[in-house]
Structure 1
Amino acid sequence: MRTSIVESIRQLGRGRNFDLWPLKRAAARGCRPSSGAGGICAVLAVTALTGCSIHPLVDDVSPIPTEAIVAAARCELRLGLVHQVEVWFADEDPPVTRFDPNTIGDKTGGEDNVKLLHKRFPNTAKQDDWEQYMDIAIAYEWTFDITETNHADASVGFRLPVLNPAGTVDVGAGGNANTTRQAKRTFKNQDTFKGLLTQNWYNFCNDINRSVEYFPNTPTGRPPFEPQPERGLYPITGSIGLARAVTSFLKIAVQEGALDTFTDELTFTTAFDGRVGGAVTLAPVPKEFRLVNASTNFAGSRLDMHKVKISMAFPKARATQKTEKQKVDELLNDVKGGYELNAQWRAAYALCVVDARSREDDFKLLRLDPPEVTCLKSTDTFYPRGNGRTNSLIEGHRFDLLDQRVRSELEKREKKRLEQRGSGT
């Protein structure tokens, strides 16, 4: 490090431009004991990290890559789900045996394991209840917001001899540079309980038959799956408690009249800060123009903010959430007992609402329409509300199902008529 400073000073003395890059290159190469800067190697590591990245990424400092963070979190949630199924099996009278909680969402011999469960254990909970739980949808939203700030400054001092009157003049110069880089990565994904409780997911979480280009989901690298350890320095890369979250949701769900949605919002912040500086003082030579001192300082900081929002929703909403006194009798009758809705729509809708509320809290600003209203249209853009079998696909109303089928049949006939006209038949 010191060598780079002196070299830059010598270049300036030879009439060349003062170059700060040798200092950064020295930081990137690392310290050697002979450089005399061994005591600041740890700080230099952070400074080099914040100073060299043009596009700041999570993977620059994270002990595991982004895709591994997501995979580990989903497998952690799956672990809590499997544990809860084990509890349900043990609570039955008689206890359920010969069924693996890890693969209850799979099929055996072409038939769903849930149906086989009720054939062999008819006294278990209602088959409809099990199917409702298997259809629970999970929506995730991930945000990685990274801000890097870098500061560099340098100063030089010269001593200029003056002949008349005899003496010297001290001249100084300096400069600084400040840069800020920011990157924000946001993405969403979804699961269902039934999809997670399969052999494929068991193999994935336990690193069975995985590609050679994968980061192990479990610290041991072999079955059984274990969550990543809790990491205080970079919490998002360790266990974030999704196993406990799904357990809490299911324990609330079994309470009478509590079948609804569940949302969790987790925020983790990690800050790095580093600085390094150096100064050189040279003895002046009488009656000659010489550089006598120089100094440089580098400072870098990085703020990583990670947010994970998860939403879990049953496909059946409580009627009290959908009815109003002003609704017509037909609609009131339609929602008795609750809507049968697309669970993915419900999970995405709940996630949109909690995200909108979070934005209102961040900006201290309320929207004209509440999130419960604005999120209806945005969620409809990506998912249908109903299933198209027991209710209308778009709106989710049972009384609209017949009209939907009639419209669909008319559209098919019209399309067929136009095709026949186009072919001249």
Structure 2
Amino acid sequence: MRFVSFFFLPITGLLFAGCSVHPVPDDVSEYSTTEIVKNVRCEAKATVRERIDEALDTKGELREIDPERILEPENFMRIKRVDAHLAQKFQNYMDSAIAYDFEFTINELNSKSGSVGFLVPFLSGGSLQAGIEGDLRKSRTGDRRFKTVEKFRELVKLDCSDFVQPAGNLLYPMTGSIGMSKIMNTFIDLSELGGGKDSFTDTITFLTVASGKAGGALVLEPVSNQFRAVGAKADIDVSRSDTHKLTVSLAFPIEDLRPNSYERGSETRALENLCIARAEQRENEADTLRLYPPEIYCRRSEKESAAFSDRRLLE
């Protein structure tokens, strides 16, 4: 019986061993979710700082001003005396908002199988061969999603002292440089050309699939006249897919001078644009349209929703 336990118990443990309950990016990446988010924000901040530096460099006497402190009264008045248009541009950009919608979806499949073979000798001669087999399949899904929004004036003050711009990571892209610089520069360039001020969204999706298989077999020569295990086999098959989706929305401050107009701040509009983008994605995935378009139910103003609905009915 000692021999049976020696082989049978490891197989049983293999089949019914648990795995981590909640799959998260930390399982396969050296970065936690918090660090991934900070990397994205710091990458965005680096671009904003760079654009401010470039603008200050065009005015020789302003070069020594810290980009993070351009709105401090003394610095802002100094910039305004040199170039009032540049001061207004800085004011507008610092009041611009960026909203992030992070979604981490992880699917993991674990398949384990094992078997043990026995040889049972009879006193009258001969023997009986028997075996035990087992199979266990587990699937787990982890879905982590959250939003955050901030103005550029807050973004440029983000503590990135320990941040090192990562290179692109082909194996786990969201932990490396994901191209926030291109997104930020595109928004700023479009805004300066007069477009993209009210609605600018960009969605980046990364998919990482990993799989692996391990197996082993043990065969022993039978010993006559003894009951014992003569073979053991185990197979482990694991697959995991990580889908990382980041939707970025940027909104430029827009002043509406019309009487009794409903003015929405840049942060509110950035969040609304996120809502609209996500709703349109869901409609495309489900191939189904809602009664009212996303522009209605994503707006916070009932008056605006009613007015928009009236316009649709008239069109």
| Residue of 11, 15, 19 corresponding to 1:20 | 11
Q: Does the 8 Å CA contact 2:191/2:252 hold for their aligned counterparts? A: no
The corresponding residue for 1:145 is 105
1:121 has 2:68 as partner:
no
Compared CA separation, residues 126 and 153, structure 1 to 2 (3 A): closer
After superposing the two structures, state which structure 1 stretch, 66-75 or 246-255, moved more.
Answer: 66-75
Runs (5+) with no aligned partner, structure 2: 305-315
Alignment of structure 1 residues 4-403 onto 2, 5 Å = 10-11=4-5, 18-20=9-11, 23=14, 52-91=19-58, 95=60, 97-98=62-63, 100-107=65-72, 111=73, 113-118=75-80, 120-122=81-83, 124-125=84-85, 127-161=87-121, 167-198=126-157, 201=158, 204-206=159-161, 216-218=162-164, 227-316=165-254, 334=259, 340-376=263-299, 380=300
Q: Does the 8 Å CA contact 1:260/1:317 hold for their aligned counterparts? A: no
How far the C-alpha of 1:293 sits from its partner, in A, is: 2.0
SS in 2 for 1:52: coil
Give 1:180's aligned amino acid. Answer: S
**Could you say what the CA RMSD is over the residues aligned between the two structures, in angstroms?**
3.2
SS in 1 for 2:298: helix
Q: Counterparts of 1:12 and 1:233 in 2: how far apart (Å)?
A: 40
Scaled by the length of structure 2, what TM-score is found?
A: 0.83
Equivalenced residues, count: 304
- For each residue in 1:13-48, what CA deviation from the matched residue of structure 2 results, as whole angstroms up to 9, or x when unmatched? 8xxx644365599xxxxxxxxxxxxxxxxxxxxxx9
Give 1:310's aligned amino acid. Answer: V
Q: Does the 8 Å CA contact 1:150/1:299 hold for their aligned counterparts? A: yes
Q: Counterparts of 1:255 and 1:141 in 2: how far apart (Å)?
A: 26
Give 2:160's aligned amino acid. Answer: C
How far the C-alpha of 1:99 sits from its partner, in A, is: 5.3
Q: Counterparts of 2:140 and 2:235 in 1: how far apart (Å)?
A: 19
How far the C-alpha of 1:362 sits from its partner, in A, is: 2.8
Q: Counterparts of 1:371 and 1:312 in 2: how far apart (Å)?
A: 18
Give 1:197's aligned amino acid. Answer: V
The corresponding residue for 2:311 is none
- Structure showing the higher strand proportion among its residues: 2
- For each residue in 1:144-178, what CA deviation from the matched residue of structure 2 results, as whole angstroms up to 9, or x when unmatched? 112221111111223344678x6444333311111
Give 2:85's aligned amino acid. Answer: A
Compared CA separation, residues 64 and 347, structure 1 to 2 (3 A): same
SS in 2 for 1:365: coil
Q: Counterparts of 1:244 and 1:74 in 2: how far apart (Å)?
A: 13
Q: Counterparts of 2:12 and 2:82 in 1: how far apart (Å)?
A: 73
Give the greater-gyration-radius structure (CA): 1
Q: Does the 8 Å CA contact 2:56/2:63 hold for their aligned counterparts? A: no
Runs (5+) with no aligned partner, structure 1: 1-6, 26-47, 207-215, 219-226, 320-332, 386-393, 397-425
Compared CA separation, residues 276 and 354, structure 1 to 2 (3 A): same
Compared CA separation, residues 133 and 83, structure 1 to 2 (3 A): same
After superposing the two structures, state which structure 1 stretch, 345-354 or 51-60, moved more.
Answer: 51-60
How far the C-alpha of 1:85 sits from its partner, in A, is: 1.8
Give 2:91's aligned amino acid. Answer: E
SS in 2 for 1:373: helix
Q: Does the 8 Å CA contact 1:101/1:197 hold for their aligned counterparts? A: no
Q: Counterparts of 2:187 and 2:279 in 1: how far apart (Å)?
A: 21
Give 2:28's aligned amino acid. Answer: V
- For each residue in 1:335-358, what CA deviation from the matched residue of structure 2 results, as whole angstroms up to 9, or x when unmatched? 9xx964211110000011111112
How far the C-alpha of 1:102 sits from its partner, in A, is: 2.0
Q: Does the 8 Å CA contact 1:162/1:168 hold for their aligned counterparts? A: yes
Q: Counterparts of 1:339 and 1:86 in 2: how far apart (Å)?
A: 35
Give 2:108's aligned amino acid. Answer: E
How far the C-alpha of 1:127 sits from its partner, in A, is: 4.9
How far the C-alpha of 1:257 sits from its partner, in A, is: 5.0
How far the C-alpha of 1:263 sits from its partner, in A, is: 0.9
Q: Counterparts of 2:225 and 2:11 in 1: how far apart (Å)?
A: 29
Q: Which has the higher contact order (CA 8 A, sep 6+)?
A: 2
How far the C-alpha of 1:249 sits from its partner, in A, is: 0.6
The corresponding residue for 1:37 is none
Q: Percent identity?
A: 33
Q: Counterparts of 2:226 and 2:153 in 1: how far apart (Å)?
A: 84
Q: Does the 8 Å CA contact 2:15/2:136 hold for their aligned counterparts? A: no
Compared CA separation, residues 18 and 234, structure 1 to 2 (3 A): same
